[in-house]
Amino acid sequence: MAKITFITSDNKTTVLEGSSGSVMQLAVDNNINGIDGDCGGVCSCATCHVHVHPDHFEKTGMPSDIENDMLELDDHVNAYSRLCCQIEINEALDGLVLTVAK
C-alpha cells in the first residue's frame, strides 16, 4: 500500500492510497482535478502530466523515451515532469507528492 499526495492547480491537497495499477488510474478513479487520462494510460496524450516533488523523484525513476516524447508537447514541462500513467503503484511510492501540471 502506498499513500500518494496530489496537489491540484487550485492548491487542493488530496491523499490517496493504492496498492496496484497506475497512479493515473488512482487519480482518475478519485476525480483528481487536472488528471484526465484521455488515452486510457497508453502514454499518448499527456493529460496526466504531473510534477514529482524533487525529494521524491528517485521513487518514480526517469521517464522513458516515449514518455519524454509526449512531455515535449506540453508547455509546462520541467525537470521533474512525469506522465502518471507511466508510474506503477508499489510500496516504494509511499509518501510520494505530485503536483498536477496546468
Determine the Cα–Cα distance for residues 10 and 52; give it in Å rounded to an integer. Answer: 17
pLDDT at 66: 95
pLDDT at 47: 95
pLDDT at 78: 96
At the top level of CATH, the class of 2-100 is alpha beta
> pLDDT category, 14, cuts 50, 70, 90?
very high
Q: Where are the domains of the chain?
A: 2-100
pLDDT at 24: 98
Determine the Cα–Cα distance for residues 95 and 73; give it in Å rounded to an integer. Answer: 29
6: left (phi over 0), alpha (psi -120 to 50) or beta: beta
Q: What does the pLDDT look like over 43-100, one tens digit per residue? A: 999 999 999 999 999 999 999 999 999 999 899 999 999 999 999 999 999 999 999 9
Helices (H), 1-102: 23-29, 57-60, 65-71
